[in-house]
Structure formats: C-alpha cells, structure tokens
Structure 1
Amino acid sequence: MGNTDKFEMIANTYDTPERILIAKVSSDAIREYVVDAKGKKAVDFGCGTGLVGMSLIDEFQSVLFLDTSPSMIRQIKQKIADRHIPNADTLCFDFEQEGLSELRAGYIFMAQVLLHIPDVEFVLSRLFEVLNEGGHLIIVDFNKNENIVSDLVHNGFNQDELTAKMTKIGYRDVHSKTFYHGSRIFMGQDASMFILDARK
C-alpha cells in the first residue's frame, strides 16, 4: 500500500492526541452504520495502530487488523495482548501486490486509508471480492481539498465520483455524507471528512 515506508518510521509515535481525536470521530461515525453485526467478522483495512478498530471491537464477532506496515502491526499486536482481547487478529499484507482468496468479511472499514492508495479502483475491486454477499464497505476520508498538493497522497475525494467508481465495480446502495469539519486536520489545512457506506 502507498507510503508504507513512511508509516514504518512513525509507528512508535503515531498515537498523537490529534490522531486519537480523529480516530474517535471516525469510529463514532462508522458505528452508526454498523447494524446487527455481533455475529459478523470485520476487517480494519489499513488499520495503522488500530485506533479506529479498537473502539469498534465490541460491535463484531471478530476484527482482523490488516496493514502493510510490520511496525504498525507490532503496535496493534501489543495493544491486543495488553488488553487481553480475544476476538482480534492481525495480518501484515499488501492488497496491491496480491489477492487473499480465503479472506471473507461481513464488514470492511477503512479510515483515512484510501488517500494513500495510488490505484483506488483496483483496491476497491479487491475489497469487493473479500466482502460476503450483502456485506458493507465503510470508508471515512477527506473531501477533495484543492489546498492540498502532494505527491504522496490524493488531495481527498469527490463523493459523487467515488460513488460512480464503486457502482461500476458492483457495489450497491452507496450512500455518503460529510460529517466532520476540523481545523488543520489534513496536512496542516482545514478540511472536512465524509463517510461512505456501500454494500455488495
């Protein structure tokens, strides 16, 4: 996945007050879209240190924390061990390199992950394959922001364009809305975040 090297370097210092706040805002937004999931498996895709998935762990039968960065996975493994969480597992894996044919989930959520992925459509297609029939992909990310200029990340997303891409892949019942505005939350710029829910 994009920017793995960068995340390797910052894994030990990733959990800043600002990131913890954004993770809480994100997980609260995701929770509103999680319905009757106690018997379902979820994947926290691009989990980082697990800030979002950890707060959603009780909503699901189990959560798989998946990231391309070994250092991030080490952080989340430590949290799982420290808190004696029985229904969590980890996987260090890069969907951009290869598919994972045996992985299935009722829910996949990804918070501020899509902006790091160069080929968005390709990864969304791979995630479509992982979802069970009727399963949900929930995306939290930044709205398109013309003030952001970067070679490392997308400068956010247009919700209508993203919905069209996902519909083309085969996702249905795609709904999205802007739910949060914050000061200097996206590469030092004021920005807004959206949440998108889509079904297979």
Structure 2
Amino acid sequence: MGNTDKFEMIANIYDTPERIQIAKVSSDAIGEYVVDAKSKSAIDFGCGTGLVGMNLLNEFNSMLFLDSSPNMINQIKQKISDFNIRHADTLCFDFEMEGLEDLRADYIIMAQVLLHIQDYEFVLSRLFDVLNEGGHLLIVDFDKNEKVVSDFVHNGFHQYELSDSVAKIGYKNIQSKTFYTGSKIFMGQDASMFILNAQK
C-alpha cells in the first residue's frame, strides 16, 4: 500500500503521544456510528500499529488488523499478545496489488489511510466487495488543505468529492462531517479532520 517502505522504518517509534491522541479522537468519532455491533466483524484497514482499532475492540465480535507493512503488523501482534486479546487477528496484505476473495466484514475502518493511497477509488471499490450487505465503511481523514504540499500523500479531501466517489462505487446513506481541528497535525500544518460513513 502507499508509502509502506516509510512505515516500515518508523513502526517501532510510531506511537507518539500526538498520534495516540489523534487516534483517540478518531476512534471516538467512529464509535458514534457503530451501533449494536457486538455480533459484527470489523477490519481496521491500514491499521498501522492498531491505535484506532484497539480503542474500538469492545464494540465488535471480532477485529482484523490489516496493513501492508510487516513491521506495523508485528507491533499490533505484540499488543494482541501482551493484552491477551482473543477476538483480534492480523493480516499483512496489500490491497493495491491483489484482491482477497474470501475476506468479509460488517465494518471497515480507515483512519488516516486514504491520503496514502494513490488510486483510492480502486481500493474503495475492492473494499465494497469485502463488506457484507448493509455493512459500513468509516473513513477518517483530513479535510483538503492547500498548505500541505507533498509528493507522497494527498493533501486531504473535499468531503463532497469523496462522497461522490463512494456513491459512484455503489455505497449509499453517505454522511460526513468535520469533527476535529488541531494545531500542526497534518505535515506540520494546522488542519481539520472529517469522518465519512457509507453503507453497502
């Protein structure tokens, strides 16, 4: 997946206080859209070290932490082992390169992942196939930010454009809102974050 090599290098120092705090506000925002999911399965897609998914473990029957970086997956494996978590699993896999036929989930969470994916519409359409009927895609990412200039990531997203993209794929009941604004949280720039909820 996008920028895997960079994440490989920072996996063991990834959990900074700033990232932990952003993960907390992100998982709180996601939690608002997770209702009666104790019997449901979830995928933390592009999970990194699992900061967001770990906060949401108790909401679901099972959680699969999926990332394309082996070092990131090793970090989350260690957490699952340390905390003796029974209903979580890991998968190292790159959705940009290949499809996974038998993977299914009721919820797919993508927290600050989309900005790293070059052809994100392609990946979102693959995730549509993974979702069970009635399942939810929950995207947390940065609002479009012209001050961010990078060759490696998108500089955020316009919510209406992203809503149009997921609608074209077939998602419905699409809602989005800005839920957080922070200082220097996006490539050293002040930025706001949104959540988008879409259903299959």
Write the deviation string for residues 35-55 of structure 1: whole angstroms up to 9, x where unpaired. 110001000000000000001
Residue of structure 1 in register with 2:90 after alignment: 90
Give the deviation of 1:17 after TM superposition.
0.3
Write the deviation string for residues 105-140 of structure 1: whole angstroms up to 9, x where unpaired. 000001000000000100000000000000000000
Residue of structure 2 in register with 1:187 after alignment: 187
Aligned-residue identity in percent: 76
Q: How many Å separate the matches in 1 of 2:51 and 2:84?
A: 16
Aligned partner of residue 10 in structure 2, secondary structure: helix
Shift >6 Å, 4+ stretches:
none
Give the deviation of 1:69 after TM superposition.
0.1
Report 1:24-63 matches (<5 A). Answer: 24-63=24-63
Q: How many Å separate the matches in 2 of 1:53 and 1:32?
A: 14
Write the deviation string for residues 150-187 of structure 1: whole angstroms up to 9, x where unpaired. 00000000000000010000000000000000000000
Aligned partner of residue 80 in structure 2, secondary structure: helix
Aligned partner of residue 66 in structure 1, secondary structure: strand
Q: How many Å separate the matches in 2 of 1:147 and 1:55?
A: 31
Give the deviation of 1:198 after TM superposition.
0.1
Residue of structure 2 in register with 1:157 after alignment: 157
Aligned partner of residue 38 in structure 1, secondary structure: coil
Give the deviation of 1:88 after TM superposition.
0.2
Give the deviation of 1:10 after TM superposition.
0.1
Q: One-letter code of the match for 2:13?
A: T
Q: Aligned residues, how many?
A: 200
Q: How many Å separate the matches in 1 of 2:64 and 2:39?
A: 14
Q: How many Å separate the matches in 2 of 1:178 and 1:48?
A: 23
Q: How many Å separate the matches in 2 of 1:73 and 1:128?
A: 23
Report 1:130-145 matches (<5 A). Answer: 130-145=130-145
Gaps of 5+ in 1: none
Residue of structure 2 in register with 1:117 after alignment: 117
Aligned partner of residue 80 in structure 1, secondary structure: helix
Gaps of 5+ in 2: none
* RMSD of aligned alpha carbons: 0.3
- Using structure 2 for the length normalisation, give the TM-score: 1.00
Q: One-letter code of the match for 1:141?
A: D
Give the deviation of 1:87 after TM superposition.
0.2
- Using structure 1 for the length normalisation, give the TM-score: 1.00
Aligned partner of residue 35 in structure 1, secondary structure: coil
